[in-house]
Amino acid sequence: MATVLAPLAGEIAPLDAVADDVFAQRIMGDGVALHPHDARATAPLDGVIAKLFPGGHAFVVQSDEGVDVLVHLGLDTVHRAGAGFTTHVEEGERIAAGEVVVTVDLETLRADGVDVTTPVVVISDHAIAWRAEGAVEGGAPLLALRV
Amino acid sequence: MSSFADIATQVIKGLGGAENIKDLEPCVTRLRVELHDAKKLDEATLRSAGAHGVMKMGTVVQVVMGTQSDNIEQAMREQMG
């Protein structure tokens, strides 16, 4: 089993409720969505920053076991071109679960009308054996995967 | 595994050729493409290039290529000139 920690504190919602078909239809994989309370997005597991997208609106952490987790900070945030996001690591860096990857200016994003719903998606096809429900603290267990 | 250039060639073909692509934009998980003629879209070719899904909304199509979408977009631009 591998545990995926919540990258942000927030309310957990099913992916079906996400206003983006790629996530809602689980085309990239299964997971959950977070309605974030917290501005610091942390690594959901120990591993390497396999992808840090330009502007910092999304990242992928890959564990040594080959689990890939995508954290997409808000919907359609590619159009922000980085505005509202501050990155703290580089692509390819090793990272421990709970370390800060990106800081998000939630107030600015919300003020600009951005849907800050954050899909957390297992893109490596590992089955989810358990998922947290309700509210979650940042760094608390969010998903358990069969590895 | 195919190179990004090979995948890009296939994706361009599936989108009806470079001249059919009006606008191209990479996202984390997908390519958003605006086409001149949506009827030239060949979903089977896109799927064989590795698309997880293809979503159409009029002339705008989203080709879900996974987190390599930005690399594929760059290779497409090189080929489209």
Specify the residue for token string 């849907």.
A115
Residue-wise pLDDT tens digits, A37-75: 989 999 999 999 999 998 899 999 999 999 999 999 999
Distance (Å, whole) CA B53 – CA B63 = 6
Question: Are B64 and A28 within 8 A, CB to CB?
Answer: yes
Distance (Å, whole) CA A143 – CA B23 = 38
pLDDT < 50 positions in chain A = none
Backbone angles phi, psi at A137, to 5 degrees: -85, 150
Question: Are B28 and A78 within 8 A, CB to CB?
Answer: yes
Residue-wise pLDDT tens digits, B48-57: 999 999 999 8
User: Which domains can be identified in chain B, with CATH numbers?
Assistant: 4-80 (3.30.1360.60)
Confirm whether A37 is a catalytic residue.
no
Q: What beta strand segments (E) does chain A contain? A: 2-5, 10-14, 30-36, 40-42, 47-52, 58-62, 68-72, 85-87, 94-95, 100-104, 118-122, 128-131, 135-136, 141-145
Task: Please state the pTM of the whole predicted model.
Answer: 0.89
Residue B51 pLDDT: 95
CA torsion angle for A19, A21, A27, A28 (degrees, to 10)?
-40
CA gyration radius for chain A? Answer: 14
Q: How many CB atoms lie within 10 A of CB A19?
A: 11
Q: What is the pLDDT confidence band of residue B1, given thresholds at 50, 70 and 90?
A: low
Query: To the nearest whole number, what is the mean pLDDT of chain A?
Result: 95
Distance (Å, whole) CA A5 – CA A25 = 23
Domain that holds residue A131: 2-145
Residues of A in contact with B26 (CB under 8 A): 78
Token pair in block for residue A93? 């860096």
Residues of A in contact with B66 (CB under 8 A): 28, 123
Report the CATH number that the domain containing residue A121 is assigned in CATH: 2.70.70.10
Residue A41 pLDDT: 98
Residue B10 pLDDT: 96
Of these residues, A72, A79, A88, A126, which one is catalytic? A72
Q: How many CB atoms lie within 10 A of CB A90?
A: 8
By Cβ distance, the residue of B26, B62, B67 closest to A60 is B67
Read off the pLDDT of each residue in B30-46 and give the average, rounded to a whole number. Answer: 96
CA torsion angle for A127, A133, A138, A141 (degrees, to 10)?
-40
Residue B40 pLDDT: 97
Residue A56 pLDDT: 93
Domain total in chain A: 1
Residue A125 pLDDT: 87
Q: Is the pLDDT of residue B72 over 60?
A: yes
Question: Are B66 and A51 within 8 A, CB to CB?
Answer: no
